[in-house]
Structure 1
Amino acid sequence: MSSPIRLSRNAWLMLLICIFGWGFSWTVIKYALAEIPPLSFRGVSAFAAGMLTLLLVRASGASVAVARAHWPKLGMLAFFNVLSWNVLSTYGVLYLPSGRAALLAYTMPLWCVPLSVWLLNERLDPRRCVALLLGGAGVAVLMGQDVLELMQAPLGAILMVSAALCWACGMVLMKRWALPLETMPLTGWQLLLGSLPMLPAAVWVDGIPPQLPGAGALAALAFSALVTFMLCYWAWNRLVLMVPVAVSSLSSLLTPLVGVTSGALFLGEQPGWAEALAVLLILGAVAVINLGGRRAPAA
């Protein structure tokens, strides 16, 4: 029996890009939504990121062509990984502090691991069970503190958990289908296809803005396009295809820790004992899933 796979140095680099890029993005979203409506913010930044990614691929001389047989699966990945995830999570962060929203969004491994066992035949060994229990306990501690408040106004929590479920579905399907595309065009097409429905919806829901947003909001929009979407989605897609779903999804639990910290530093949010305990449990989950085993290929 082969030893379990853990993150290689290359995989850790991809993970760190996602941790800090996506971790700070929750604070950026919360800041930008004061001036830019949710659908407009996500739609414009995802569309710009998709177009720029594909243009870079073409400028490098590589092909962005996709075989006709792969378009339905590519569209389904765009639906789960870009459209559903971004719409649900962006509206969810309107009703929650950015750090709390980030932690709820990363209930994703709680859905991802059982889905990977079902659809990918990944083993649920003792190491993964312990890591899943620790990560789940971190989420439970967080939810337990405000469970009565969430029952009275549950919309934000429902949106974030629904976003996490969609992301988990997209991640497992991407691993299952393994489309024969390089990571850059795969990322670019997902972003472009996922953003296209958001643009007309933004015009209908948000309307035409009466004036240009301020410099800070435009900087947040640029950060979202270049870092949150273009860079982090590329790194995440590479990571997902390099290691088992349980390893990548549980390791991604480090991301909301950056969200909690940045929310405290830049938005004045005050983490309490629940956040501190959740941090310890999540760190434990990531440590357990990456202890021992052989490193993933550095592809």
Structure 2
Amino acid sequence: MPGGNARMTTFHDAAARGRISPLGLFFLGVASIGWGLNFPIMKNLMTEWPPLSARGLSGIIGALALALIATSRGETLRVPRAMWSRLILVSMLTIGGWVAFMGLALLWLRASDAAVLGISIPLWVALVAWPVLGERVSPVRAIALLIALAGIAVLIGGSGFDASLDKLPGILCALAGAVCVAFGTVLTKHFPLALPPLSLATWQIGLGCIPVAVAGLAFEDPHVAALSAIGWASMIYMTLVQFCVCYVCWFAALERLPAATASIGTLLVPVVGVLASAAMLQEPLGLTEVIALTVTLASVALALRS
């Protein structure tokens, strides 16, 4: 899923005037579906490879591929010296925190649960912006946050007390990842990162995933021989589709669509994640999952509209 900083880019004149481009909607759909499918794919990969190694290494290789795409489009990868410290900090939060915590969350959570929790990022952005930027939480966004917490409560309590305790570490990890993205987004708003969009994404993904990969190689025990054909296909998907195709399509959508349309369009990500998890992993898709997804989507849509 796109981090908040990756959304900081200039928009095409048509997007600025609020026009809806069919091609922009196509690119938005590809990005959202691609990120949504990543949840069950990652969950399945974890039966063969540990989370930090898988997500960290795929991110580094994906960043290298994205760098080639950026340079082929004429974007510079040069970072001004004064920007390095905040670029590293924001990358560690937005990408490193998200990649690490969401990967760990999947040790305890179903892929569909992680997809629902992941979409709550805009709500935490609003909450973090209050003390950091002095942006007060409006009554509408406060209500949206309460609604989101209700959706999380449904996830926690929907399977009984014992199952809820089993899920709790995963829920805390997923929320920690979302809060890391929120802090990174707010810091970017306070200290803008003036780089071309694909170049910025390249550096953030690379810098954010390096410590995740190092931690994985230090504390986990990944073996290439353990990967089946499906495992290799999953690694390739995470590397090229999640980190390259989806980001290229996301920025292409931003050039052709109003920012509000693109932001609301990402609500498709958890829907795809939940439905794909049911189809690919045979995860349950019952009343609890539908209620949690609906309530969380409603809260984020309310926050974005405000």
- 2-structure distance, mates of 1:209, 1:60: 36
Aligned-pair identity in percent equals 30
Is structure 2 residue 259 aligned with structure 1 residue 223?
no
- For residues 127 and 210 of structure 1, do their structure 2 counterparts lie closer, same or farther at Cα, with a shift above 3 Å needed? closer
Is structure 2 residue 105 aligned with structure 1 residue 92?
yes
Question: Residue 207 of structure 1: CA displacement?
Answer: 3.3
2:214 corresponds to: 200
- For residues 263 and 49 of structure 1, do their structure 2 counterparts lie closer, same or farther at Cα, with a shift above 3 Å needed? same
Is structure 2 residue 97 aligned with structure 1 residue 66?
no
Is structure 2 residue 276 aligned with structure 1 residue 262?
yes
2:47 corresponds to: 34
Is structure 2 residue 201 aligned with structure 1 residue 178?
no
- For residues 103 and 201 of structure 1, do their structure 2 counterparts lie closer, same or farther at Cα, with a shift above 3 Å needed? same
In the TM superposition, what whole-angstrom CA distance separates every residue of 1:190-215 from its partner, at most 9, and x where no partner exists?
11111222333222223351626222
- For residues 56 and 194 of structure 1, do their structure 2 counterparts lie closer, same or farther at Cα, with a shift above 3 Å needed? same
- 2-structure distance, mates of 1:285, 1:227: 28
Where do 1:40-79 residues align within 5 Å?
Answer: 40-79=53-92
- 1-structure distance, mates of 2:229, 2:248: 27
Contact 2:66 2:243 in 1 (8 A): no
- 2-structure distance, mates of 1:24, 1:140: 24
- 1-structure distance, mates of 2:84, 2:277: 39
Question: Residue 252 of structure 1: CA displacement?
Answer: 4.3
In the TM superposition, what whole-angstrom CA distance separates every residue of 1:166-191 from its partner, at most 9, and x where no partner exists?
12112222233221101010000011
| Structure 2: runs of 5+ lacking an equivalent | 1-15
- 2-structure distance, mates of 1:284, 1:35: 35
| Structure 1: runs of 5+ lacking an equivalent | 294-299
- For residues 175 and 37 of structure 1, do their structure 2 counterparts lie closer, same or farther at Cα, with a shift above 3 Å needed? same
Where do 1:1-299 residues align within 5 Å?
Answer: 9=20, 16-122=29-135, 124-146=137-159, 148=161, 149-151=163-165, 154-207=168-221, 209=223, 211=225, 213-233=227-247, 243=259, 248=263, 252-285=266-299, 288=302
- 1-structure distance, mates of 2:160, 2:126: 25
Q: For 2:283, what is the secondary structure of its paired residue?
A: coil
Contact 1:110 1:136 in 2 (8 A): no
Question: Residue 227 of structure 1: CA displacement?
Answer: 2.0
- 2-structure distance, mates of 1:23, 1:162: 19
In the TM superposition, what whole-angstrom CA distance separates every residue of 1:31-61 from its partner, at most 9, and x where no partner exists?
1111122122111210011111112222333
How well do the aligned residues superpose, as a CA RMSD in angstroms?
3.4
- For residues 143 and 12 of structure 1, do their structure 2 counterparts lie closer, same or farther at Cα, with a shift above 3 Å needed? farther
In the TM superposition, what whole-angstrom CA distance separates every residue of 1:239-285 from its partner, at most 9, and x where no partner exists?
6xx758xx94x764442222111111110111221222233334434
Question: Residue 147 of structure 1: CA displacement?
Answer: 6.6
Contact 2:35 2:242 in 1 (8 A): yes
- 2-structure distance, mates of 1:285, 1:94: 26
Letter in 2 for 1:182: P
Question: Residue 154 of structure 1: CA displacement?
Answer: 2.4
- 2-structure distance, mates of 1:255, 1:223: 16
Contact 1:77 1:174 in 2 (8 A): yes
1:297 corresponds to: none
Contact 1:107 1:139 in 2 (8 A): no
Q: For 1:225, what is the secondary structure of its paired residue?
A: helix
In the TM superposition, what whole-angstrom CA distance separates every residue of 1:98-118 from its partner, at most 9, and x where no partner exists?
101222233323322122344
Q: For 2:225, what is the secondary structure of its paired residue?
A: coil
Q: TM-score, normalised by structure 2?
A: 0.79
- 1-structure distance, mates of 2:199, 2:82: 16
